[in-house]
């Protein structure tokens, strides 16, 4: 359970989110909204990349302010552009990075690397340079790098925006199959039809919070 209590976020004198209160408990939650609506900032609040100017964000009872380290372990974050998330030049080195930070043993790192690559049909890419992967493979590597850290929640910020149709399908399937709680910020309404809950942001406020069959038409109406 992620609880957001009276959160306001300001950058300088610009208010990005104003007085948001929510509790997120469903298995599949989507955040939608136009560019600049505050949804990316909201996503970053959830694992403590951004700290609220006012109010608190708690993940399973731990505050992002005081327990940042533990929160980040619990909440994995996938960025829009995998090139900005892949840190090491070679696939297996990049997968190892997060696990090394958590102090996993060498054997565990090797075993989990093998598992995750097999899961996404990338076993033969273990020693492959990351920059030569396709867009979809890069995003799957970025997701894998987060999953090997065994988070309970996965927050994804527009993970399919930069992908072509085929790669988008591949990444979508991977997201669908996650056993973790998924919180997905996206423009891609198609992706969200099966979700449990859709939250619509506009100008830093929540304007709808409902099931997809009600929230999505509301959003489409509002944007037109």
Partner 1 sequence: MLDLYAPGTSILHRMSPGPKMLALMVGATALFLNQSLVVTLAALIVVLGLYRLAQLTMKQAWQQLRPLLWIFVLFFALQWWFSGVTLAAYVVLRLAALILLASLVTLTTRSSDMIDTMTWALGVLRPLGVNPAKIGLAISLALRFIPVLAQITQDVREAQKARGLERSVIAVAMPVAIRTLKMADDISDAIDSRGYRP
Q: Which residues would be at the binding site for partner 1 (CB under 8 A)?
A: 44, 47, 49, 69, 72-73, 76-77, 79, 81, 83-90, 93, 97-98, 101-102, 127, 129-132, 145-146, 149
Nearer to partner 1, 17 or 49 (CB): 49
Nearer to partner 1, 17 or 146 (CB): 146
Sequential DSSP letters for the chain: -EEEEEEEEEETTEEEEEEEEEEE-SSEEEEE--TTSSHHHHHHHHTTSS--SEEEEEETTEETTT-HHHHHHHEEEE-S-GGGT--SSBHHHHHHHHHHHTT--HHHHHHHHHHHHHHTT-GGGTTSBGGGS-HHHHHHHHHHHHHTT--SEEEEESTTTT--HHHHHHHHHHHHT--SEEEEE-S-GGGGTT-SEEEEEETTEEEEEE-HHHHHHHHHHHH-
Nearer to partner 1, 86 or 198 (CB): 86
Smallest gap from residue 83 Cβ to partner 1 (A): 5
Smallest gap from residue 209 Cβ to partner 1 (A): 25
Smallest gap from residue 38 Cβ to partner 1 (A): 17
Q: Residue 64 has which token pair?
A: 């992002």
Nearer to partner 1, 48 or 204 (CB): 48
Smallest gap from residue 35 Cβ to partner 1 (A): 14
Separation of alpha carbons 110 and 164, rounded Å: 31
Smallest gap from residue 79 Cβ to partner 1 (A): 6
Nearer to partner 1, 13 or 127 (CB): 127
Nearer to partner 1, 93 or 210 (CB): 93
Smallest gap from residue 84 Cβ to partner 1 (A): 4
Q: Residue 140 has which token pair?
A: 């799957």
């Amino acid at each position: 359970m992620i609880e957001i209590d009276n959160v306001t976020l300001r950058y300088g004198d610009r208010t990005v989110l104003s007085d948001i209160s929510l509790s997120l408990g469903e298995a599949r939650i989507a955040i939608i909204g136009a560019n600049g609506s505050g949804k990316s900032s909201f996503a970053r609040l959830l694992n403590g990349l951004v700290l609220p100017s006012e109010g608190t964000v708690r993940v399973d009872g731990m505050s992002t302010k005081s327990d940042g380290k533990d929160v980040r372990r619990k909440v994995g974050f996938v960025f829009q552009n995998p090139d900005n998330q892949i840190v090491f030049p070679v696939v297996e080195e990049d997968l190892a990075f997060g696990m090394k930070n958590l102090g996993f043993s060498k054997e565990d790192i090797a075993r989990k690397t093998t598992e995750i690559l097999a899961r996404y049909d990338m076993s033969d890419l273990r020693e492959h340079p990351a920059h030569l992967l396709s867009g979809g493979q890069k995003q799957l590597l970025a997701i894998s790098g987060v999953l090997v850290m065994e988070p309970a929640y996965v927050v994804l910020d527009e993970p399919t925006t930069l992908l072509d149709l085929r790669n988008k399908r591949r990444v979508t399937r991977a997201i669908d199959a996650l056993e973790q709680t998924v919180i997905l910020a996206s423009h891609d309404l198609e992706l969200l039809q099966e979700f449990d809950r859709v939250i619509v942001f506009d100008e830093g406020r929540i304007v709808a919070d409902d099931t997809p069959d009600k929230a999505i038409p509301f959003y489409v109406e509002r944007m037109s």
